[in-house]
A and B are shown apart, each in its own frame.
Chain A
Amino acid sequence: MAVNTVSNPTSRVDRLYAWFDPPGRRWTAYALVLAFLVTGPLYMSNYAMVIMTNALLYVVLALGLNTVVGYAGLLDLGYAAFFAVGAYTTGILTQEFGVNFWLTIPFAVVAATCAGIIIGGPTLRLRSDYLAIVTLGFGEIVRIAARNLEITGRASGLSGIPNPSLFGWEISGPTAFYYVFAILAVIACVSSVRLLHSRLGRAWLYVRHDEDAAEAMGIDRVKVKLAAYITGAIYGSIGGVFFAVNLGSISPPSFSFQQSVLILMAVILGGMGKIPGVIVGAFIVILGPELLRDIGSLRLLVFAVILLLIMLFRPSGIWPSRRS
């Protein structure tokens, strides 16, 4: 994994961020973002709201992957597998077994934990390149299994997943799901911040920086890395659970390698390990291609060039590491 180079602290972007340093300004910024999230549906078209919902889903997924890649420093190229585990758990339980949607969440969490242990356990001794290959393989195994198993509906996937209801009110339509994902994204952010500033969050950073020194300080690297995989898996799985009910149908192409890469791109683009950066990264990878829709068939090419330029000028991500 490439070492984060500390970005030039005098650059214009960094000075812009530094403006937000005083807590007063920062809380004002949080309040503005929250106000924007809450009032969004008032001035957004249905189409815009669907895109925003998708971006918010990516915030959850990117924050989950950030735990693995950004905090613990473990490269994961098969993150979409956890997303699939959550989506299929809910799909199968609601559709085949008629389980209430909300009751599928604990099952999805347990399934994600198992998946996290399955991928984490055998790979903990591997480093960067090897880890990348094994996780890539794991992602493909899950997708191909879903494509071929009877219970996951083979290539056509599962459809007709019922809308969930909450206290007798059915969650349906773009506005309702927009709010569901907004709440999820906020929970994911708060959890990420709290985890980072906890005993476990620090342990991830210690292990990422120097495994031996961390061990010498009494930190069990195996346990800590497994915890990172499991935490990331649970974020991905819960994202998948709500993705499944939002669309009402799921199929293997949603959990492709490309999906894993897109989530990883959000993390790297924003700046690994930096929560606001990762959120911005998630919005860029989803909104970017949409904003460029007007230029037609060239849009992905233009988007790719923009991404390359960002990485060229800010190799450690958009968000700066602003410490002295």
Chain B
Amino acid sequence: MGLKLEQITLRFAGNTVLDKVDFTVADSAIASLIGPNGAGKTSLFNSITGFYRPQEGNVNFNGESLMGRKPHKVTKAGIARTFQNVRLFREMSVLENVMSGMHCRTSSGAISAILRTPGQRAEEKHILEVCEDCLDFVGIVREKDRLATNLAYGHQRLVEIARALATQPKLLLLDEPAAGLNSAEKDSLVELIQRIRDDRGISVLLIEHDMSLVMKVSEHIHVLDHGRMIAAGTAREVQSDPKVIEAYLGQDDEELAL
């Protein structure tokens, strides 16, 4: 069970971005995907979530194949994501942003909305409750009525996580959740990721460049370089793997942010 990628190959105009990637995330695990810039980490996320269509291989989630599914169907199957550059809905409140996550778990249509049927009203109430609960969980329920894009950057990232949680996922993909956060915010992010798994039973897979955060939070680390999975294991195993050291030493110093 969990997420299982088999021999995923993704090419763009002859460039092989992902090369026969095998990869698993167990149920209720916290795993990280690391690698130098351009290694193909976000491409791998996009391949899992249906934004990219790998030419070969298979994405399996809890026994279901997700290959060729559109992104909204992948979300419905239980995989939610955040984006590397925060992508909140402009001109909408924090709460309205989070409410987008409940779309795929609800069903009211135009006619019931126009007639305000009891079922529709009950559903709206339920959406509000779930979303406020998600905002409370990430700790920013006080700001629910503010315009999302007016929030401090760190809080915008939390809105994105709350929005992903509102889709009621079984697996949460976080694309560089610590980018742009200060060290206090990073500490509470570590704690939040652990609570997501411990309290909600959601597995978490994150892409992250901040190595100390990665080492602190992940139980399992996968290293991608030039589209290939070069190492996998616990923090200690990965840190001492010669292939990983080589991949990083070939890079700029900033990539060594240990």
Q: A interface vs B, CB < 8 Å?
A: 4, 6, 190-191, 194-195, 198-203, 205-206, 209-210, 212-221, 227, 231, 321, 323-324
Q: How far is the CB of A142 from chain B (nearest CB, A)?
A: 23
Query: In the complex, A203→B107 CA distance in Å?
Result: 12
**Mask for B100-130, Cβ within 8 A of A = 1, else 0?**
1111111011100110100010011001000
Question: CA–CA, A223 to B212, complex, Å?
Answer: 43
Of all chain B residues, which has the CB nearest A227? B110
Which of A190, A217, A227, A321 meets B163, CB within 8 Å?
A217
Q: Which of A4, A203, A321 contacts B103 (CB 8 A)?
A: A203
A200-B108, A221-B72, A323-B147 known; A209 and B99 CB under 8 Å? Answer: no
Query: What chain A residues lie within 8 Å of B116 (beta carbons)?
Result: 194
B75 near A213 (CB under 8 angstroms)?
no
CA distance A28 to B20 in the complex (A): 67
Whether A195 pairs with B49 at a CB distance below 8 angstroms is: no
Min Cβ gap A86→B in Å is 18
Tell me how far the C-beta of B115 lies from the nearest C-beta in chain A, rounded to whole angstroms: 8
Extra contacts besides A209-B90, A214-B89, A217-B164 (17): CB < 8 Å: A191-B114, A194-B113, A194-B114, A199-B113, A200-B110, A203-B103, A210-B89, A214-B100, A215-B51, A216-B51, A217-B104, A218-B72, A218-B75, A219-B100, A321-B91, A323-B93, A324-B150
- Docked complex Cα distance between A221 and B73 (Å): 11
Pick from B89, B109, B110: contact of A206, CB under 8 Å: B89
Closest to A234 in B: B110
Q: A215 with B99: in contact, given A205-B92, A206-B89, A324-B150 (CB under 8 Å)?
A: no
Within the complex, what minimum Cβ distance (angstroms) separates A71 from chain B?
12
Instruction: Give Cα A320–Cα B87 distance, bound, in whole angstroms.
Output: 24
A58 to B122 alpha-carbon distance, docked (Å)? 34
The contact sample of 23 A-B pairs, CB cut-off 8 A, is A191-B114, A194-B113, A194-B114, A198-B108, A199-B106, A202-B96, A202-B99, A203-B103, A210-B87, A213-B83, A213-B100, A215-B71, A215-B72, A215-B75, A216-B49, A216-B80, A217-B80, A217-B167, A218-B103, A220-B72, A231-B110, A323-B93, A324-B146
B113 neighbours in A (Cβ, 8 Å): 194-195, 198-201
Choose among A195, A198, A214 the residue with the greatest number of B CB atoms under 10 Å from its CB: A198
Q: Which residues of chain B are near A324, meaning CB under 8 Å?
A: 146-147, 150
Q: Which residues of B contact A220 (CB under 8 A)?
A: 70, 72
Q: Report yes or no: A216 in contact with B71, Cβ–Cβ below 8 A.
A: yes
CB closest chain-B residue, reference A210: B87
List of B residues within 8 angstroms of A210 by Cβ: 87, 89-90
Contact of A216 among B75, B92, B150 (CB under 8 A): B75
| CB pair B76 A218 closer than 8 Å | yes
The A contact surface, by secondary structure, is helix
| Contact present for B104 and A218 (CB under 8 Å) | yes
Chain B min CB distance to A66 (Å): 15
In the bound assembly, the distance between CA atoms of A190 and B105 in angstroms comes to: 26
B81 within 8 Å of A (CB atoms): yes
Asked if B147 and A202 make an inter-chain contact with CB atoms under 8 angstroms apart, the answer reads no
Closest chain A residue to B160, Cβ basis: A213
- By a CB distance below 8 angstroms, the chain A residues around B164 are 217
A213 contacts which of B89, B120, B124 (Cβ < 8 Å)?
B89
- Provide the residues of chain A in CB contact with B70, threshold 8 Å: 215, 220
Taking the closest CB of chain A, its distance from the CB of B235, in whole angstroms, is 29
Q: How far apart are the CA atoms of A221 and B50 in the complex, in Å?
A: 14
**Which of A206, A212, A231 lies in contact with B51, CB distance below 8 A?**
A212
Contact, CB under 8 Å: B87 / A199: no
Question: Contact: A217 with B114, CB < 8 Å?
Answer: no
| A198 and B83 form a contact (CB under 8 A) | no
Q: Are A198 and B120 touching (Cβ within 8 A)?
A: yes
Q: Do residues B89 and A218 form an inter-chain contact, with CB atoms below 8 A? A: no
A199 touches B167 (CB 8 A): no
A219 and B147 contact, CB distance less than 8 A: no
Closest Cβ of chain A to B1, distance in Å, is: 21
Q: Is there an interface contact between A199 and B91, defined as CB atoms closer than 8 Å?
A: no
- Considering only residues 132-157 of chain B, those with a C-beta below 8 Å from chain A are 146-147, 150
Chain A nearest Cβ from B237, distance in angstroms: 32
Whole-angstrom CA separation of A202 from B92 in the bound complex: 10
Known: A216-B49, A219-B100. A199 touches B71 (CB 8 A): no
Q: Point out the residues of chain A lying under 8 angstroms from B99, CB to CB.
A: 202
User: How far is B80's CA from A227's CA once the two chains are assembled, in angstroms?
Assistant: 24
Instruction: List, in ascending order, chain B residues with CB within 8 A of A199's CB.
Output: 102-103, 106, 108-109, 113, 123-124, 127
| Residue in B72, B96, B114 whose beta carbon sits within 8 Å of that of A219 in the complex | B72
